[in-house]
Amino acid sequence: MSYEKVEVPEDGEPITLADEETGALDVPETPIIPIIHGDGIGRDVGPAAQQVLDAAAEATGRSIAWMRLYAGASAREKYDENLPDDTVRAIREHRVAIKGPLTTPVGAGFRSLNVALRKKLDLYANVRPTYHLDGVPSPVTDPSQMDMVNFRENTEDVYAGIEFEAGTDEVQQVKEFVEEEMGFDSTIHDGPVGIGIKPITEFGTKRLVRRAIEYAIANDRDSVTLVHKGNIMKFTEGAFRDWGYEVDEEKYADVTITEDELWDEYDGEAPDDVVVVKDRIADNMLQQLLTRTGEYDVIATMNLNGDYLSDAAGAQIGGLGIAPGANFGDGRCLAEPVHGSAPKYAGENKVNPTAMILSGRIMLEYLGWNDAADLVREAVEETISSGTVTYDLHRQIEGGTKVATSEFAENVVEKIHDLA
- Binding residues (CB under 6 A) for ligand NAD: these are 41, 45, 101-104, 114, 320-321, 336, 339-342, 351-352, 355, 392
CB of 343 to ligand NAD, least distance (A): 6
Judge whether 390 and 350 are in contact, CB under 8 Å.
Answer: yes
CB of 398 to ligand NAD, least distance (A): 19
How many angstroms separate the CA atoms of 303 and 284, rounded? 17
By C-beta, is 301 or 354 nearer to ligand NAD? 354
Beta carbons within 10 angstroms of residue 209's beta carbon: 28
CB of 74 to ligand NAD, least distance (A): 13
By C-beta, is 57 or 323 nearer to ligand NAD? 323
By C-beta, is 78 or 111 nearer to ligand NAD? 111
How many angstroms separate the CA atoms of 104 and 43, rounded? 16
CB of 100 to ligand NAD, least distance (A): 7
Phi–psi pair at 301, nearest 5 degrees? -155, 175
Cα separations in angstroms, 343 against 40, 181, 236:
5, 48, 37
How many angstroms separate the CA atoms of 151 and 240, rounded? 13
Length of the chain equals: 420
By C-beta, is 320 or 373 nearer to ligand NAD? 320
Provide the annotated active-site residues. 159, 229, 283, 307
**Residue 171 CA to its chain's centroid (Å):** 33
By C-beta, is 204 or 353 nearer to ligand NAD? 353
CB of 341 to ligand NAD, least distance (A): 4
By C-beta, is 28 or 343 nearer to ligand NAD? 343
What H or E segment, with its residue span, contains residue 130? strand 125-131
3-state secondary structure of 34: strand
Judge whether 216 and 181 are in contact, CB under 8 Å.
Answer: no
Judge whether 152 and 226 are in contact, CB under 8 Å.
Answer: no
Q: Burial level of 54, CB count in 10 A (0-12/13-18/19+)? A: middle
CB of 383 to ligand NAD, least distance (A): 15
3-state secondary structure of 100: coil
CB of 120 to ligand NAD, least distance (A): 15
Q: Burial level of 186, CB count in 10 A (0-12/13-18/19+)? A: exposed
By C-beta, is 216 or 355 nearer to ligand NAD? 355
Judge whether 219 and 370 are in contact, CB under 8 Å.
Answer: no
CB of 306 to ligand NAD, least distance (A): 14
Nearest residue to ligand NAD, using CB? 340
By C-beta, is 12 or 46 nearer to ligand NAD? 46
How many angstroms separate the CA atoms of 110 and 41, rounded? 20
Judge whether 48 and 357 are in contact, CB under 8 Å.
Answer: yes
Nearest to 366 by CA among 74, 84, 54, 96: 96
Cα separations in angstroms, 179 against 49, 172, 186, 190:
53, 10, 7, 12
